Amino acid sequence: MNNLSSLRFSGHPPYILAPTMFVLCLSLLVGACGSAEERKAVYLEKAEKFLDEGNFPKARVALKNAVKIDPKDAHTYFLLARVAEKEQEWSQAFGNYLHILDLDPNHRAALTRLARFYLAGQQKQKVSEIAGMLFKQNPHDQLGETLRASVLFMDGEKNKSLAKAQEIAVQNPTDAETLILLAAVFSANKEFEKAHALLKSGLAAQPEDVDLLNNVATTYLAMGKPQEAQGVLQKIIDVEPHVFAHHEKLAKLYLYLKQPDQARAVIRKAVEREPDNEDRWKQLVAYSEPSQREQVLLDALEQLPHSLSLRFLLGQLYEFNKQPEKARATYEAIVAEEETSDPGLKAEVQLARMDFSDKKQELANSRLEKVLHESPRQADALLLKGKIALGEREGKEAVQAFRTVLKDNPNQSTVLNLLGKGHLLSGEFQLAHESFEKAVELNPRQFDAAMALARLSVKNGDYPKAQQYLESILTEAPNHLETLGFLFKVYVAQNQWSEAEKVLVRLREAKGSPYAIDLADGLLAQARQQWDRSKKSFEKAMKAKPNELAPLTALIKQELFRKRSAEAERYLKQLVAKNPEHPYASGLLGAVLVQRKDQPAALSAYKRQTEVNPAWIDPWRDWAMLEWSSGKKTEAIRILKQGFSLNPDAIQLATALASLYQANEQIDLAIQEYEAILVKNPGAVAAANNLAYLLTDKKGDQESLARALALTKSFNSKTPNPLLLDTLAWVHHKLGNHSEAVSLLRNAVEKAPTHPLLNYHYEVVSIQAGDSRTAKKHIE
């Protein structure tokens, strides 16, 4: 469809003439009956004054007061709509213009402004309807004819449209709206000189019409004459010096021309014109050099010492500049002055966020508790609380926080995405899906949510649906590399080789990294059992990034799949000989040697790997398990403890150590290890499940059972996993809550009807509950 959307909506609002003396005298004669009209006139007079000063917020308030007195005054609504345009509140302006037509269907000015909106949105039908309404008033209406020409252009009838436009232009119209729309038709056909001439003819009669001037500047730019455009934009500022948008437009032109000093000068003049306007100061900060922004903000605060938004901006600048002490001092000063007011609570949340980043968890939580005690629905505090819960894998707590935020603003796509993540952590996959779907519906560029939906679809085996979600991202961002990579894997998983090849081409066109492309090409060739091609691609990837794990692992797995373990061993030994400090080669060699049943050499390789790259977790665990399998239990435990001491955040090693303690009947040590895991990772479900088992079956005292119940009570809602339900049921059984145990196990058995342990437990608890018939029936 042809584009006519380059229209400007920043015209000069009509002025309102003050009430005449005759009207005033008449009002005095009618006394009280005219009081409402008098009040309306006062508000309109105030609005006129504010419009002259460029004080649009106050003009808006005065006009709204006038509308309250006379809600059927179309002209006052028109002024409100024009103020909304000046403030670039397009939806408000559009809504007001529509309302005007409800009051006065023939309001020409409102019809004209609506036509611009519809043209910008390429809504042909609506543009045609407005043309028809204008023709009802005047069958030869030039604006109506121009709208008709615009519709012809959008319909692809370019020649007819241009002929019609030329016919209207020959008639020398003087109406600014008609000229602007005619110019849009010619500009859409790249006839910028003709469009420019039309607009200039209008300026001859109306030299200070801001709409005409704006469009003249646009045609100058289209004609490659930025210097002339600068002059016109400066003229607009001279006509309406109080409208900041004009200053910003000229500043942006200077930035485009790579003249940042001139851009800053324009914004600074706007600030000097209204030094009490904090929004202008904020723009000056944005246009300033990074090294000058702190001083600009300090200057602003000298002029506006009580501006909280500027103080918050200063704190954020200090954070960005990695000056945490100054940022803290700024926020703490706000807290001290504002205490429990909204700004004070907001500053407290900023401090909590900094505490959390500094790993001061308790202090961060303490601040958030304080804020939420004063204001239980403080959005910033709830968002941070939810994000912290996500980081700790506490899905339920995260869900509760994000849901509370959404109660006050249900259409925040970012929060809906976070809510979906909380549901995922809680095992509530359908609720997660619904949250992600709504996030994407509200904002198609919420790529994180769309990716989550694609992953859920893959998890459910619905690859076509995953492709749809990924393609929806690529519709918005065709070169989104992460999405292209995921789409490639989806096609490979379905053996759709030709489609995978097409995505690989798109990855290359999107300038993906050569390493990633070679790795992908190798994986595709490997899946198609094109061994020579895959090996060549993997080796190219390794040449680009010699120390990466993925291509080396893929190549070794390929050799093992082909039952070429000797070749894999030889390749890795050569690599280790060439690069003894390779971060992964010795560990992979250990795995290959295990397959080749060379345990002594495997143990040596694993030991070497943990010395070269102690941060790689897998070799520690594999080394320990190999020692354990040969009966060296003490050595296996020692290895895991050593690995964990070097990697204190490695939950895999802690879990493996706890499981070895448990297998070695060192129950107290196993319990101690699981408790330590849960301190660092409260959402570690497997650790909670294993600990609950030990407390219930290996301890069994009331204190241990109470702790086991606390650990497992969320299992019923957290996940559909029947084994977790079984643990919770067994805890209830041990506590004597037999009916609750029966109910939980019934649910578990329905989910896994052939599982022997679940069936055995169901039999036991049914008997204990006095339901031997159910137990017997179940056994049968």
The model's pLDDT over 378-390, given as tens digits with 9 standing for 90+, comes to 999 999 999 999 9
Does residue 86 sit within a domain?
Answer: yes
The answer to whether 193 and 221 are in contact (CB under 8 A) is no
Q: How many CA atoms lie within 13 A of 334 on its CB side?
A: 27
From residue 283, alpha-carbon distances to 252, 267, 666 in Å are: 12, 7, 65
Based on the structure, what is the number of domains in the chain? 2
Does residue 20 sit within a domain?
Answer: yes
Domain boundary among 106, 122, 138: 122
Task: Using the predicted structure, report yes or no on whether residue 10 has a pLDDT greater than 50.
Answer: no
Of 128-142, 165-179, 679-693, minimum mean pLDDT range: 165-179
If one compares 315 and 718, the residue with the highest pLDDT of the two is: 315
Task: Using the predicted structure, report yes or no on whether residue 612 has a pLDDT greater than 70.
Answer: yes
Query: Which tokens sit at 606?
Result: 């694993």
Task: Using the predicted structure, report yes or no on whether residue 29 has a pLDDT greater than 60.
Answer: no
The mean pLDDT value for 236-249 works out to 91
What confidence score (pLDDT) does residue 775 get?
52
Give the SS3 label for residue 275: coil
The mean pLDDT value for 422-438 works out to 90
> How does DSSP assign 106-149, residue by residue?
T-HHHHHHHHHHHHHTT-HHHHHHHHHHHHHH-TT-HHHHHHHH
The mean pLDDT value for 455-483 works out to 94
What confidence score (pLDDT) does residue 3 get?
44
Task: Using the predicted structure, report yes or no on whether residue 4 has a pLDDT greater than 50.
Answer: no
Q: What separation, in Å, do the N-terminal and C-terminal C-alpha atoms of the chain show?
A: 71
Does residue 668 sit within a domain?
Answer: no
Cα distance between residue 150 and residue 219, in whole Å: 18
What confidence score (pLDDT) does residue 34 get?
53
Give the SS3 label for residue 412: coil
Q: Residue 154: pLDDT band by 50, 70, 90 thresholds?
A: confident
What confidence score (pLDDT) does residue 159 get?
86
Q: Residue 515: pLDDT band by 50, 70, 90 thresholds?
A: very high
The answer to whether 338 and 344 are in contact (CB under 8 A) is yes
What confidence score (pLDDT) does residue 140 get?
87
What confidence score (pLDDT) does residue 8 get?
35
How many helices (H) and strands (E) the chain has is answered by 46, 0
Percentage of the chain surpassing pLDDT 90?
62
Of 21-25, 36-40, 459-463, 732-736, minimum mean pLDDT range: 21-25
Does residue 760 sit within a domain?
Answer: no
What confidence score (pLDDT) does residue 6 get?
36
Radius of gyration, alpha carbons of the chain: 36
Q: Other CB atoms closer than 10 Å to residue 342's CB: what's the count?
A: 13
Of 81-90, 524-533, 576-585, minimum mean pLDDT range: 81-90
Backbone φ and ψ for 737, nearest 5 degrees, come out as -90, 70
The answer to whether 394 and 685 are in contact (CB under 8 A) is no
Domain boundary among 478, 497, 512: 512
Residue-wise over 606-622: b if at least 16 C-beta within 10 A, else e?
bebbbebbeebbbbbbb
Residue 500 domain boundaries: 457-512
Task: Using the predicted structure, report yes or no on whether residue 19 has a pLDDT greater than 60.
Answer: no
What confidence score (pLDDT) does residue 32 get?
39
What confidence score (pLDDT) does residue 168 get?
82
Cα distance between residue 724 and residue 752, in whole Å: 12
What confidence score (pLDDT) does residue 722 get?
86
Does residue 482 sit within a domain?
Answer: yes
- Residues 6 or more apart whose CB falls under 8 angstroms from that of 583 comprise 547, 549, 612, 613, 616
pTM value is 0.69
What confidence score (pLDDT) does residue 777 get?
55
If one compares 187 and 502, the residue with the highest pLDDT of the two is: 502
Task: Using the predicted structure, report yes or no on whether residue 325 has a pLDDT greater than 80.
Answer: yes
The mean pLDDT value for 664-670 works out to 94
What confidence score (pLDDT) does residue 18 get?
36
What confidence score (pLDDT) does residue 263 get?
95
Axis crossing angle, helix 278-287 with helix 293-303, rounded to the nearest 10 = 170
- Long-range CB pairs of 335-340 (<8 Å, 24+ gap) are 338/308, 340/374, 340/375
Does residue 103 sit within a domain?
Answer: yes
What confidence score (pLDDT) does residue 7 get?
33
Does residue 722 sit within a domain?
Answer: no
Residue 463's CATH number: 1.25.40.10
Q: Residue 143: pLDDT band by 50, 70, 90 thresholds?
A: confident
Residue-wise over 654-667: b if at least 16 C-beta within 10 A, else e?
bbbbbbbbbeeebe
If one compares 775 and 469, the residue with the highest pLDDT of the two is: 469
Task: Using the predicted structure, report yes or no on whether residue 5 has a pLDDT greater than 70.
Answer: no
Q: Residue 717: pLDDT band by 50, 70, 90 thresholds?
A: low
Task: Using the predicted structure, report yes or no on whether residue 12 has a pLDDT greater than 70.
Answer: no
Q: Residue 652: pLDDT band by 50, 70, 90 thresholds?
A: very high
- Residues 6 or more apart whose CB falls under 8 angstroms from that of 150 comprise 4, 119, 127, 161, 181, 184, 185
What confidence score (pLDDT) does residue 693 get?
92
CA dihedral (261, 307, 305, 244) positive or negative: positive
Phi-psi region of 476 (alpha: psi -120 to 50; beta: other; left: phi over 0): alpha
Task: Using the predicted structure, report yes or no on whether residue 26 has a pLDDT greater than 70.
Answer: no
Query: pLDDT (tens digit, 9 = 90+) per residue, 40-55?
Result: 888 888 988 888 877 8
Axis crossing angle, helix 599-612 with helix 617-629, rounded to the nearest 10 = 150
Q: How many CA atoms lie within 13 A of 54 on its CB side?
A: 14
The mean pLDDT value for 218-230 works out to 93
Task: Using the predicted structure, report yes or no on whether residue 2 has a pLDDT greater than 50.
Answer: no
What confidence score (pLDDT) does residue 195 get?
86
Query: pLDDT (tens digit, 9 = 90+) per residue, 253-270?
Result: 999 999 999 999 999 999
Task: Using the predicted structure, report yes or no on whether residue 23 has a pLDDT greater than 50.
Answer: no
Cα distance between residue 262 and residue 254, in whole Å: 6
Cα distance between residue 163 and residue 148, in whole Å: 12
Looking at every residue in the chain, the average pLDDT score rounds to 88
> Of the candidates 596, 656, 595, 654, which has an alpha carbon nearest to the alpha carbon of residue 625?
656
CA dihedral (127, 130, 134, 139) positive or negative: positive
What confidence score (pLDDT) does residue 707 get?
94
> How does DSSP assign 651-676, residue by residue?
HHHHHHHHHHHHHTT-HHHHHHHHHH
Does residue 294 sit within a domain?
Answer: no
The mean pLDDT value for 67-72 works out to 90
The answer to whether 470 and 501 are in contact (CB under 8 A) is no
Query: Which tokens sit at 57?
Result: 């917020």
Cα distance between residue 324 and residue 342, in whole Å: 23
Block residue for tokens 């995922």: 424
The answer to whether 583 and 607 are in contact (CB under 8 A) is no
Phi-psi region of 323 (alpha: psi -120 to 50; beta: other; left: phi over 0): beta
The answer to whether 449 and 440 are in contact (CB under 8 A) is yes
Q: How many CA atoms lie within 13 A of 503 on its CB side?
A: 26
Q: Residue 720: pLDDT band by 50, 70, 90 thresholds?
A: low
Task: Using the predicted structure, report yes or no on whether residue 651 has a pLDDT greater than 80.
Answer: yes
Cα distance between residue 232 and residue 223, in whole Å: 14
The answer to whether 559 and 570 are in contact (CB under 8 A) is no
Measure CA 442 to chain center.
11
The mean pLDDT value for 358-381 works out to 92
What confidence score (pLDDT) does residue 569 get?
97
Task: Using the predicted structure, report yes or no on whether residue 780 has a pLDDT greater than 70.
Answer: no
